[in-house]
Chains A and B, each alone.
Chain A
Amino acid sequence: MAVDLPDPRVGRPEVGALQRTAGDPVRVVLNWGRRYSLWVFNFGLACCAIEFIAASMARHDFIRLGVIPFAPGPRQADLMVVSGTVTDKMAPAIKRLYEQMPEPKYVISFGACSNTGGPYWDSYCVTKGVDQIIPVDVYVPGCPPRPEALLQGIVALQDKIAAEHLGERYGRRP
């Protein structure tokens, strides 16, 4: 019954020449552009996904921060928000969809379950934190966190994007 799909990852992750070799002024502009157009892909697994949806609706409205929740799929997304309980059964799917996202990509772990396993810390089937399978940029604590906490996490991620140097993150071309 197991379906063997080809591995989507080809070679080591790279970004374009402009991003890689840009001087500081251009880098600031590029980072500024990227931090305010984060196409987000919501990996909703439990009740935290409801809070994510609340954050995307009119009252909290994270589109005003440049987070666009209309990515057709992971291949068009810059940011993945893992919101909910990650089980060992679901973990391969999360890793697979993360690997389908184009570089540079970011992950927000939203809620106690995806941070550490949360109330299911001793369960036989729950992954003890999504950071065991994919790298996480921002952790948002709470069970579930309020939408304001996600907004704060998004702002923290945007600050991180503004300060980063993609050439160093991916290595300069040898």
Chain B
Amino acid sequence: MTAPDGAQESLAAALGVEVVATDATGSSCLDVPAASWLPALTHARDVLGLDLLDWLSAVDEPEADPPAVDVVAHLVDTSSPPGRLHRLLLRTRVPAAALSLPSATPLWAGAAWHERETHEMFGVDFTGFRDPVGEPLRPLLLPDGFEGTPLRKSFVLASRAVRPWPGAKEPGESGEGNASPSRRKLLPPGVPDPATWGPRRPEPATNGTPDDEQPDGEQPGDQPDGGRP
């Protein structure tokens, strides 16, 4: 499970740019500039022998300066000897203001599905995208008419604001009062901000639902008691 020998030096020499190596939980990861993305993939395929594009995806990095999306490709050498798989993570940082990257579909036709998914989930535009069926870059998994890029951390899960729920929605929200107000400052990604979306728990309709009177009373049936007539 190692990168090919001298992958970093070979890439840096071939591209003429700085290639940063990091260890991503046991996998070697090489960062290349976005401008060298396609040359780096080509070099990895043709020179380093990493002939299989295993997967391609992205990571949203809104905390980076400037905010960016990291596009990652996992490449594998299928002629590796048994037990010593050669593989490599190639990563590049694309600024969130201009989410555009050359497409890897000329190198691997199988990159089309991965790039379509990355496009719909993160909003990355892959220029030069070439589908085997000749269609342009388009959503893969999301239903027709879906708006937004759901895997970006700025994507707000509207259900959390509009959906009534009998229990606590967020940590520190259970109980009568607000037990730990300090936790409210840490909004996880996707959770609607009460400042702009209104209170987290919309007031129940004033038709006297039993939840109003006895918040700790009967639990809404989630048990397969199976014995009720």
Say whether A125 contacts B223, CB under 8 Å: no
Say whether B135 contacts A1, CB under 8 Å: yes
Q: Which residues of B215-229 have CB atoms within 8 Å of chain A's CB atoms?
A: 221-224, 226-227
Assess whether B163 is interfacial by the CB under 8 Å rule: yes
Assess whether B13 is interfacial by the CB under 8 Å rule: no
Q: Is the interface of B mostly helix, strand, loop or mixed?
A: loop
Q: A89-B143, A124-B150 are in contact. Are A142 and B159 (CB under 8 A)?
A: no
Interface size class, chain A: 20 to 34
Cβ-defined partner of A122 (8 Å) among B143, B160, B226: B160
Which residues does chain A contribute within 8 Å of B159, judged by CB atoms?
Answer: 117, 121-123, 128
Residues of B in contact (CB 8 Å), total 22
Instruction: Tell me the minimal C-beta distance from A105 to chain B in angstroms.
Output: 24
Assess whether A103 is interfacial by the CB under 8 Å rule: no
Assess whether A164 is interfacial by the CB under 8 Å rule: no
Q: Which residues of A66-117 have CB atoms within 8 Å of chain B's CB atoms?
A: 87-89, 91, 112, 117
Bound together, the chains give a CA A146 to CA B224 distance in angstroms of 8
Bound together, the chains give a CA A2 to CA B145 distance in angstroms of 13
Say whether B144 contacts A148, CB under 8 Å: no
Assess whether A149 is interfacial by the CB under 8 Å rule: yes
Say whether B163 contacts A2, CB under 8 Å: no
Assess whether B64 is interfacial by the CB under 8 Å rule: no
Which residues does chain B contribute within 8 Å of A143, judged by CB atoms?
Answer: 222
Say whether B150 contacts A125, CB under 8 Å: yes
Say whether A141 contacts B224, CB under 8 Å: yes
Which residues does chain A contribute within 8 Å of B141, judged by CB atoms?
Answer: 89, 125
Assess whether A152 is interfacial by the CB under 8 Å rule: yes
Instruction: Tell me the minimal C-beta distance from B176 to chain A in angstroms.
Output: 23
Interface residues of A (CB under 8 A from B): 1-2, 87-89, 91, 112, 117, 121-125, 128, 140-143, 145-146, 148-149, 152
Q: List 20 A-B contacts (CB under 8 A).
A: A1-B135, A87-B143, A88-B143, A89-B143, A117-B159, A121-B159, A121-B163, A121-B165, A122-B157, A122-B163, A124-B146, A124-B155, A125-B150, A140-B224, A141-B222, A143-B222, A145-B224, A148-B226, A152-B224, A152-B227
Interface residues of B (CB under 8 A from A): 135, 138, 141-144, 146, 148, 150, 155, 157, 159-160, 163, 165, 190, 221-224, 226-227
